Structure 1
Amino acid sequence: MSKGLPKRSEDYSLWYNELVKRADLAENSPVRGCMVIKPYGYAIWEKMQQQLDKMFKDTGHSNAYFPLFIPKSYLSREASHIEGFAKECAVVTHYRLKNAEDGSGVIVDPDAKLEEELIVRPTSETVIWNTYKNWIQSYRDLPLLINQWANVVRWEMRTRLFLRTAEFLWQEGHTAHATSQEAVEETVKIMNVYADFAENWMGVPVIRGLKTESERFAGAVDTYCIEALMQDGKALQAGTSHYLGQNFAEAFDVKYATKEGGLEYVWGTSWGVSTRLIGALIMAHSDDQGLVLPPKLAPIQVVIVPIYRSDEQLAQISEKAHSIKEALEDLGISVKFDDRDTHKPGFKFAEWEQKGVPLRIALGPKDMENGTLELARRDNGTKETVPADDSLPKRVKELLKEIQEGIYNKAYQFRKDSTHKADDYDTFKQLLDDKGGFILAHWDGTAETEARIKEETKATIRCIPLGAEEEEGKCILTGKPSNRRVVFARAY
């Protein structure tokens, strides 16, 4: 199964693209830039969605759904917002087709032009804040904590499965608060929810930080983010949480009556993560044999592969395998018994290895005689022979926990080894070209310097890390004073 999979060290991009297809995660669709998420890939998204949805609800949020189409005039109300998304918008201009008179097929009916064009949702701030105007009247209606699971369209020119597609799936939270402080606290809280999910479920260590003014979300006062590092040394923005101030409340006239009887604009936030997280999962952990999935997000956590030469042997092994499967499922472990008679065990081993199943159980005639079985870990390839008795479920559960922790620790060590400091521009450029990764360097705080570094090196400021100690220094480009290092990297 893994024969011919490109090596990461030789062509990381080709390795990634091939792995997405061979692991049966997704494929390109007939519509340029869009993807078909296959059942195995969607099962990973469902597990992500289920956990995140629980985390949102545990922090007081409720789900709702808002229209896919947004009147064009809505996007004009917040100037910086439309400026940030104008080049990525898909626009609906007509509402009907008709058969061409010459019989050549269907055409757009020129008489069915919309009075106002509709924008296919690139993000939902405008339509949601227009709705909030009707939902919020008084301080009793606040805070309003809403999330929606949806698809969005951003007309990307260069696309890659999961990482950047014209249409993708995501969640977007939109909240309204009585005070600025409450809104900022909400923004930070969600950033931390995302970081918790990335580290404890995806096994991906992240840096929490603030985006620079040039990199923040269009229409936001501040953008908080989590930044992850992929195995090729490039950064990936894994989640963002935006403090909107009163920008959208003012644009859509969303006010509330205070306890004192006054009338004030509310304070807002918005935040989201998308199917890009599946791309992060692949690139952070997988190897030249295929996917490596953390157990908490693996659609199948354990696969049982029978080894047999006769139908009689298979019948005996199947009985034992079903008993093991039932015992593991009682502990909440997802198990697949692969008893297909169309493929040999070696093929099955390679297939499930490529699909990243965390733990494999091999069960053959000798195992049946000895009352044992073989456990093989996907993350490091180690195998162990254990008794096939009542102690097995406990051992499997322990191993899945070890695998989850091991995957995170390996990624954390990689990030640690791939984080460097640069105190001058030449060293900075050399590190970028030779090692990649995160580079901690001083910056003078100006957009001009940031833009010049980006233009000359293709590296961007990923974030101003939160909680980092102040450190006097000089900007690597201009030599002007700086009181802290920021995180630079080339990124997806």
Structure 2
Amino acid sequence: MAKEITDRSEDYSQWYLDIVKKAGLADNSAVRGCMVIKPYGFAIWEKMQRQLDDMFKATGHVNAYFPLLIPKSFLSKEAEHVEGFAKECAVVTHHRLMDDPDGSGVIVDPSAKLEEELIIRPTSETIIWNTYRDWIQSYRDLPLLINQWANVMRWEMRTRPFLRTAEFLWQEGHTAHSTKKEAIEESRLIHDLYADFAENHMAMPVIKGAKSANERFAGAVDTYTIEAMMQDGKALQAGTSHFLGQNFAKAFDVKFLNEGNKEEFVWATSWGVSTRLIGGLIMTHSDDEGLVLPPKLAPIQVVIIPIPKPNSVLKEECNKIKQELEELGLSVKVDFDKKKRPGFKFAEYEMLGVPVRIGLGARDLENNQVEVARRDTKEKSNYNREGLGQQIKQLLEEIQDNLLRRAKAFRSDNTHEATTMEEFEEILDQKGGFIMAHWDGTTASELAIKEKTKATLRCIPIEGEKSEGKCIYSGEKSLQKVLFARAY
């Protein structure tokens, strides 16, 4: 199976597409730019969704659902917002089809034109804040901490499964607050939550920072981001949290009576992560043999394969091991399929990125042991049958930790510093990866660097030392190094 995957060193882009296809994560669809998420890919998304949902609810958020279709006039109310999304919007203009008079199928009924066109949501700020106007009257109604799990559509010309598709799945939080301070704290809380999820569940290290004014979400006062490094050295924006100020409250006239009985505009945030995280997961950990998954997000954490063909005694022992592991909260599969040889099964589950494989044969039964193979290092060991459950649970924890440690080491080895534009370009062309460099804080310098190198300013890191220097482009004073990289 691995022979069907292009080597990363040969063609990284094709390697990624091969992994998506061979691991059965997604498929092309009949709709240009959209994908079909296959059951195994969706199982990974469900595990992400479940964990994030628990984290949201633990911090006081609740789920709701808002319409897919948004009146066009709503997008006109916040100028920066409409400008940011106008070129990506899909528009519904009619509400009915009719038989084609020439009998060749159906056509749009010209008499069924909508009075106002509807936009398929690219994001839901406008429809939600129009709704919040009816929900919020007093400080007693605040804070309003709402999240929705939904699909959105942003028309894309160049697509890649999970990383960039016209339609994708995500969650979007939209919260309302009585004070600026509380709204900023909310946006930073979610920023930290996303970083926690990325590192401790995805085993994907991230750099937390704020976006430049040029890179902020359309309509936001501040955008906080988590940036991850993929194995080709490119950056992936893995999640964003936005402090929206009072922009949307003013656009949709959302006011409340404060405790002093005075009317004020509400303060707002929005935040989201999407199925793009699956792309990040693939590109952070996988290898030339297939998918590599961190145990916390693997749909199957342990697979048990009897060798060579299961007899009644072997079957019974496999099921006993499965039960023992499931009682510890692990997701386990026993593969009794007689149509496939053990070697084929080994390759299949390696391709699927199953963290731990247990092999059990007649000789293992005699010796009261099992053969255990770990996906991350491909190491094999014999484990004693007694206390196997706790041993496997501990091994899964070791694999989770090792994947994060390995990804951090890769990022460290591929993060560089540049003090001049010449050095910056040389690093990008010869090494790639992340570059920390001084920037003067102007959009003009930022865009000039992007035009010259195709590297974007990924974020202004929140953590790390502040140090004065000179901008690599303009030579003007800079107070802090920022993160540049070529990106997805």
On whether the aligned pair clears a TM of 0.5, the verdict is: yes
Counterparts in 2 of 1:125-136, with a 5 A limit? 125-136=125-136
State how far apart, in whole Å, the 2-side matches of 1:486 and 1:142 are: 36
Task: Please provide the CA RMSD for this pair.
Answer: 0.6
**What is aligned with 2:288?**
288
* Aligned equivalent of 2:313, options 312, 316, 320: 316
2:253 matches 1:253: yes
* Aligned equivalent of 2:360, options 363, 379, 383: 363
**What is aligned with 1:341?**
338
Counterparts in 2 of 1:137-176, with a 5 A limit? 137-176=137-176
Render the CA deviation track for 1:242-299: whole Å, top value 9, x for unaligned.
Answer: 0000000000000000110100000000000000000000000000000110000000
SS, match of residue 214 in structure 1: helix
State how far apart, in whole Å, the 2-side matches of 1:125 and 1:308 are: 57
State how far apart, in whole Å, the 2-side matches of 1:308 and 1:449 are: 65
Counterpart amino acid of residue 26 in structure 1: A
**What is aligned with 2:394?**
398
* C-alpha contact (below 8 Å) 1:308/1:314 kept by paired residues: no
**Structure 1 residue 81: Cα displacement:** 0.1
**Structure 1 residue 434: Cα displacement:** 1.1
> Which stretch has the larger CA shift, 430-439 or 235-244?
430-439
Counterparts in 2 of 1:381-392, with a 5 A limit? 381-389=378-386, 391-392=387-388
> Which stretch has the larger CA shift, 315-324 or 61-70?
315-324
**Structure 1 residue 136: Cα displacement:** 0.3
**Structure 1 residue 308: Cα displacement:** 2.2
Counterpart amino acid of residue 477 in structure 1: Y
**What is aligned with 1:352?**
349
* C-alpha contact (below 8 Å) 2:414/2:433 kept by paired residues: yes
State how far apart, in whole Å, the 2-side matches of 1:308 and 1:18 are: 30
**What is aligned with 1:414?**
410
State how far apart, in whole Å, the 2-side matches of 1:314 and 1:137 are: 70
* C-alpha contact (below 8 Å) 2:97/2:107 kept by paired residues: yes
**What is aligned with 1:229?**
229
State how far apart, in whole Å, the 2-side matches of 1:200 and 1:314 are: 40
**Structure 1 residue 4: Cα displacement:** 2.5
**Structure 1 residue 392: Cα displacement:** 0.2
Counterpart amino acid of residue 362 in structure 1: G
State how far apart, in whole Å, the 1-side matches of 2:144 and 2:308 are: 60
State how far apart, in whole Å, the 2-side matches of 1:101 and 1:146 are: 48
> Which stretch has the larger CA shift, 363-372 or 151-160?
363-372
Render the CA deviation track for 1:321-342: whole Å, top value 9, x for unaligned.
Answer: 0000000000000000011011
SS, match of residue 316 in structure 1: helix
State how far apart, in whole Å, the 1-side matches of 2:276 and 2:318 are: 36
State how far apart, in whole Å, the 2-side matches of 1:452 and 1:296 are: 42
SS, match of residue 469 in structure 1: coil
**Structure 1 residue 128: Cα displacement:** 0.1
**What is aligned with 1:481?**
477
Render the CA deviation track for 1:153-181: whole Å, top value 9, x for unaligned.
Answer: 00011000000000000000000000000
State how far apart, in whole Å, the 2-side matches of 1:35 and 1:171 are: 18
* C-alpha contact (below 8 Å) 1:225/1:238 kept by paired residues: yes
State how far apart, in whole Å, the 1-side matches of 2:312 and 2:236 are: 48
**What is aligned with 2:325?**
328
Counterpart amino acid of residue 488 in structure 1: F
* C-alpha contact (below 8 Å) 2:234/2:433 kept by paired residues: yes
Counterparts in 2 of 1:426-465, with a 5 A limit? 426-465=422-461
**What is aligned with 2:487?**
491
* C-alpha contact (below 8 Å) 2:29/2:35 kept by paired residues: yes
State how far apart, in whole Å, the 1-side matches of 2:437 and 2:335 are: 52
* C-alpha contact (below 8 Å) 2:308/2:341 kept by paired residues: no
**Structure 1 residue 188: Cα displacement:** 0.3
Render the CA deviation track for 1:344-385: whole Å, top value 9, x for unaligned.
Answer: 000000000000000000011111111111000000011110
Render the CA deviation track for 1:208-228: whole Å, top value 9, x for unaligned.
Answer: 000000000000000000000
Aligned residues between the structures: 488
**Structure 1 residue 387: Cα displacement:** 1.5
* C-alpha contact (below 8 Å) 2:139/2:257 kept by paired residues: yes
* C-alpha contact (below 8 Å) 2:210/2:225 kept by paired residues: yes
State how far apart, in whole Å, the 1-side matches of 2:28 and 2:452 are: 33
**What is aligned with 1:278?**
278
Q: TM-score, normalised by structure 1?
A: 0.99
**Percent of aligned positions that are identical:** 67
* C-alpha contact (below 8 Å) 1:464/1:486 kept by paired residues: yes
Render the CA deviation track for 1:23-53: whole Å, top value 9, x for unaligned.
Answer: 0000111101000000000000000000000
2:420 matches 1:424: yes
SS, match of residue 131 in structure 2: helix
**What is aligned with 1:209?**
209
Runs of 4+ in 1 over 6 A off after TM superposition: none
State how far apart, in whole Å, the 1-side matches of 2:415 and 2:314 are: 49
Render the CA deviation track for 1:422-474: whole Å, top value 9, x for unaligned.
Answer: 00001100101111111000011110111111111000000000032221111
State how far apart, in whole Å, the 1-side matches of 2:290 and 2:313 are: 32
**Structure 1 residue 195: Cα displacement:** 0.2
* C-alpha contact (below 8 Å) 2:438/2:470 kept by paired residues: yes
SS, match of residue 111 in structure 1: helix
State how far apart, in whole Å, the 1-side matches of 2:196 and 2:404 are: 12
Counterpart amino acid of residue 142 in structure 1: L
